[in-house]
Amino acid sequence: MPELPEVETIVRELCESDLIGKKICEVKVFWPRTIAIPNMADFCSQLVNQVIAKISRRGKFIVFTLSKDTLLIHLRMTGKLFFFNKEKKPSAHERLRIRLDDDRYLCYEDQRKFGKWYLLSNPETKLSELGIEPLSKVFTLKALQQLIRKSSQQIKSFLLNQHHIAGLGNIYVDEALWEAKIHPARKTNSLSHTEIVALHRAIPNVLKQGIAHMGTSLGSKLANYFSVSGRRGGNQTQLKVFRREGLPCSRCHNQMIKISLAQRGTHLCPNCQKLESFP
């Protein structure tokens, strides 16, 4: 669920939440497997008394730089962070809770329990696995060309792989490929220069649009994305292809379709996105 634009929105809200300089007083874990590293007891004892110095994002990770260690949070499908001011019973899906020295609670809910928290003395042990930040200046055309040249995967699988580019998920990959007019099953090594140029533009475009609309919230159910403040994103109304099968393509008016690729629902316009290379 949360891809780069959603995580970025969450991080921005956390940054506006007056957390810098606040101390962690208490940690309660309701679902121990939320903690990836280290074990639960060490995680709790090491976290207590650390002060929040900085909050940032790398790929889909939320990065809390603390006085001693770094806390990484990956929300996977259904992880959510929010605050409340009074101690209360944990909700059905609350997995973890942190009490701060201003008596606020930072709570973590995760319906499907896939999210993971890491407390690391050196965050690079985890973050170095990630590929290029697609919104940073190192995401150059040349960098993308080099990555693509090294691979012969289907472009959709390639883009979903966080080791190449960090932060894209199913929604924004489908959107970027639609914008670049590339069929998701195309092999990376078959892409023309023109197509790589188009993709290099499309990726930041769809991500920036997602951030501008504060993320994509599909449906209204529990599992859907909302930010720290409980606000839903607005990007779902801007999507051009994701979950729009059967609807006319906004570019060519042909009917868009949904196929299965890399075990993921994959949406495309069969007229704009052909399997043959575009010169």
Partner DNA sequence: GTGCCTGTTACCTC
Partner DNA sequence: AGAGGTAACAGGCA
Closer Cβ to DNA, 50 or 209, answer by number: 209
Among 159, 196, 214, 261, binds DNA (CB under 7 A): 261
Within positions 36 to 95, which residues make up the interface with DNA, using CB under 7 A? 59-60, 74, 76-77, 92-93
| Site size toward DNA, by CB under 7 A | 41
Q: How far apart are CA 170 and CA 187, in angstroms?
A: 18
* Contact between 35 and DNA per CB under 7 A: no
> Would you call 133 a catalytic residue per the annotation?
no
Residue reference for tokens 């069969």: 270
Which residues, 105 to 134, sit near DNA by CB under 7 A? 111-114, 129
Give the x/- contact pattern for DNA in 174-193, rule: CB under 7 A.
-------------x------
C-beta separation of 107 from 100 below 8 A: no
Residue type, 108: Y
- Bond into 38 cis (ω within 30): yes
Binder of DNA out of 41, 45, 140, 219 (CB under 7 A): 219
277 binds DNA (CB under 7 A): no
Instruction: Please count the other Cβ atoms lying within 10 Å of the Cβ belonging to residue 109.
Output: 21
Selected range binding DNA among 45-53, 137-145, 162-170, 192-200, rule: CB under 7 A: 162-170
Let me know: does 17 contact 91? Beta carbons within 8 Å.
Answer: no
Closest by CA to 25, choosing from 6, 56, 3, 52, is 52
Answer yes or no: 3 catalytic. yes
| Residue 264 bears catalytic tag | yes
Residue matched to tokens 């603390």: 66
CA distance 69 to 75: 19
**Sites of contact with DNA (CB under 7 A):** 1-3, 33, 59-60, 74, 76-77, 92-93, 111-114, 129, 151-154, 157, 160, 162, 169-171, 187, 216-219, 221-225, 261-265
